[in-house]
Structure 1
Amino acid sequence: MNSPPPSRGFEQVPVIDVRALVDSSSTLAERQAVAEQMGAACRQSGFFYVVGHGVDEALQRRLETASRRFFALPVEEKLAIRMARGGAAWRGYFPVGGELTSGRPDRKEGLYFGTELGPEHPLVRAGTPLHGPNLFPQEPSSLREAVLDYLAALTRLGHSLMGGIALSLGLEEDHFSAGSMADPLVLFRIFNYPPGPDTAEDGQPAWGVGEHTDYGVLTLLEQDEAGGLQVKSRADGEVRWIDAPPIPGSFVCNIGDMLDRMTRGVYRSTPHRVLNRSGRDRLSLPFFFDPGWNAEIRPLEAPALRDTTTAEDAHQRWDQRSVHTFQGTYGDYLLGKVGKVFPELRSEVLSNG
């Protein structure tokens, strides 16, 4: 049996034009050609830029403007929609230092959003974490519409990209949209990284967010021109951090732990981090397109994975934990991970549940 190579070094994050995946008039051959590029990127770096995605630029600028207006408000006004008021839905605002990565406070503030669900939804009625209504501020009032429009646009793009991922694995194009991601868990964050010193009080780098991998299947990141995102490249025992600078009109796309598990490590969830050295605020908008809460996560039986054994790489992972030993639903995995990011909030949610 063949195992994926233990490490794959790379020098830069590739750029992929995905217009064939979002254009209903494209041929299967055209979509397959894009899928092959995506598959190569998922094997090599786990990251790639997406261009030709068709998301309205005016919508993106509208969302950015409203987001900057919100973060410019006094902290007291922003705390009116603090996450503690979102309950089990895990929505709202957190201040700088309110989120942890590997137990260390991140130097960023942010807003948590997700699919807008009313009280009648079965998962909301059951008190399922990370499901429910969003918390929107009174000002700027334009943020609500911009966020909901953006969620709809990125959800459509997410399904198109997962069609490409399916083709890259030799599966039917609708494999994910008809299966584990038929009702995807959609989560969205808007982060503001304030400027500051490169070094924290303890002498460690003052990361906006420290080294981590994403939890789910697919992340689409819109970042402003400040930069600061770095992706980990490891080859022959040597670690290098590769810059992923902003490219106008693009999203940075990366795969998460669950796709790593589904592909037995052939497609890697690559560690990444952020350090804002721009001297000004950095705006970052990551969109997470993931399996349904109750979806069982198992290795795929895919032609491209035939005769492939699981690549066990816990010793190389940022948290020293294997995604391949996990058994259960995506909800099980996600709650355990997010609970470490907001331990106090997790305790409060569970105690009230």
Structure 2
Amino acid sequence: MYSSSSSPDKDENDLKVSESTYKLPIIDLKSFKSGEDREKVAKEINDACKRHGFFYIAGHGIEEELIDRLDSVSRQFFALDEQEKLKIRMELGGSAWRGYFPLGGELTSNRPDWKEGLYFGTELQDTHPLVVSKTPVHGRNLFPDESMVPTMSQIVLEYIEKVTQLGHVVMEAIALSLGVPSDYFYSLYTQDPLILFRIFNYRSQVIPDGMDVRWGVGEHTDYGLLTILYQDDIGGLQVKVGGEGWIKAPPIKNTFVCNIGDMLDRMTGGLYKSTPHRVALNTSGRHRLSFPLFFDPNFFTQVQPIDGISIGQDDSHQRWDKSNVHEFQGTYGDYLINKVSQVFPQLKQNINNTQQQRSE
């Protein structure tokens, strides 16, 4: 996930994770998708979002066979020599923000996260108007050569398509949980959502001397509406739940982990808060894969509070990043680029260079 962490001074106090029996809820979407009991599922989501902003979903309809194929080609890619992986490095994606970053290449409060990864998104051809106008985070994906990792492009694009469809279903349930029409988010924000998909590899190995690494990913919240995460069997995700501190969110077979982001926090006036989370260092002896897909508002939309919900109070003193999502003015794209530039400073430079070229 793209992230920025809390103050480094707090890291030593964050090392303890609750071993309590506290569990995040599992919500079965089957009855919602069939239309049999939409109200029950909406109520469960309302409770989960109010209490902790995280929940598992079962009955999602994503074939296990597709996930297995995605896992297989991802491991093939990360097993390549570094020079092969760097042939699709993110610098080649420019402001489209696609491609590979090496181990330690993503920053959290100026500290490297102990992972490597691939960045993807909705596939747009070079002739698409948004690409022609050089809109940030829009463009073609970078894939390894077919001779190195056969079928990876087809599998990734199929996965993005199907999980995006799932995102629409979950957002319908969230809309009903808030007492607004089921198409509320679709009609205002997600008819053409911004979809960003990541494949992260958390290596299990000794960190070199001199590298100031504390986490697989440091404490952060997600920026948009909804994150849909599939994690392999190793685990490492930790969630900060009020009153309980840090708890584990272990892998549960045939489920995804969902969490709400800053824009849903903003829309609901803080009723549904975006919850801090992080990933522990991987010490399992095996590489750990995770697959987060970010289902976010359209890049150009102005995100506003839901009618009838008051603007949230300034809670920046309680937030990990000391920011106030309720005061932000601008489009979702403005918010995203500002946040992401703290993780990948080069992206902001690419965008500035592009804008300068357009004005010349």
Show the 5 A alignment for 1:198-277: 201=210, 206-235=214-243, 240-275=245-280, 276-277=282-283
Q: CA deviation at 1:344?
A: 2.2
Counterpart residue number, 2:16: none
Show the 5 A alignment for 1:327-346: 327-346=329-348
Letter of the 1:18 partner, please give it: L
Counterpart residue number, 1:36: 43
Deviations for 1:101-152, whole angstroms, at most 9, x for unmatched residues? Answer: 2221111000000000112222111111100000010120211011000011
- Distance in 1 between the 2:224 and 2:304 partners? 13
- Distance in 2 between the 1:345 and 1:290 partners? 19
Aligned length: 333
Change (3 A) 1:296 1:242: same
Q: In the alignment, is the contact (CA less than 8 A) between 1:264 and 1:311 conserved in 2?
A: yes
Q: CA deviation at 1:233?
A: 1.6
Q: In the alignment, is the contact (CA less than 8 A) between 1:21 and 1:161 conserved in 2?
A: no
Counterpart residue number, 1:310: 312
1:282 matched to 2:291? The reply is: no
Q: In the alignment, is the contact (CA less than 8 A) between 1:265 and 1:312 conserved in 2?
A: no
TM-score scaled to structure 1, two decimals?
0.90
- Unaligned ranges ≥5, structure 2: 1-19, 356-360
Look up the SS of the partner of 2:271 in the other structure: coil
Q: In the alignment, is the contact (CA less than 8 A) between 1:199 and 1:206 conserved in 2?
A: no
Show the 5 A alignment for 1:128-143: 128-138=135-145, 139-143=148-152
Counterpart residue number, 1:292: 298
Deviations for 1:314-343, whole angstroms, at most 9, x for unmatched residues? Answer: 111111111111011100000001111110
Identical amino acids, percent of aligned pairs: 54
- Distance in 1 between the 2:57 and 2:257 partners? 6
- Distance in 2 between the 1:174 and 1:17 partners? 20
1:20 matched to 2:26? The reply is: no
Show the 5 A alignment for 1:161-172: 161-172=170-181
Q: CA deviation at 1:201?
A: 4.7
Show the 5 A alignment for 1:81-120: 81-120=88-127
- Distance in 2 between the 1:265 and 1:198 partners? 38
TM-score scaled to structure 2, two decimals?
0.89
Counterpart residue number, 1:160: 169
Change (3 A) 1:199 1:271: farther
- Distance in 1 between the 2:107 and 2:119 partners? 14
Look up the SS of the partner of 1:211 in the other structure: strand
* 4+ aligned runs moved over 4 Å, structure 1: 197-202
Letter of the 1:225 partner, please give it: D
Q: CA deviation at 1:312?
A: 2.7
Look up the SS of the partner of 1:178 in the other structure: helix
Q: CA deviation at 1:12?
A: 2.1
- Unaligned ranges ≥5, structure 1: 1-8
Change (3 A) 1:197 1:327: same
Look up the SS of the partner of 2:190 in the other structure: coil
CA RMSD of aligned residues (A): 1.8
Counterpart residue number, 2:71: 64
Q: In the alignment, is the contact (CA less than 8 A) between 1:199 and 1:205 conserved in 2?
A: no
Change (3 A) 1:205 1:125: closer
Change (3 A) 1:289 1:200: farther
- Distance in 1 between the 2:267 and 2:209 partners? 37
Q: In the alignment, is the contact (CA less than 8 A) between 1:106 and 1:207 conserved in 2?
A: yes
Counterpart residue number, 1:3: none
Q: In the alignment, is the contact (CA less than 8 A) between 1:20 and 1:31 conserved in 2?
A: yes
Deviations for 1:188-239, whole angstroms, at most 9, x for unmatched residues? Answer: 000000013589857x76201000000000000000011010000223xxx6
Q: In the alignment, is the contact (CA less than 8 A) between 1:163 and 1:173 conserved in 2?
A: yes
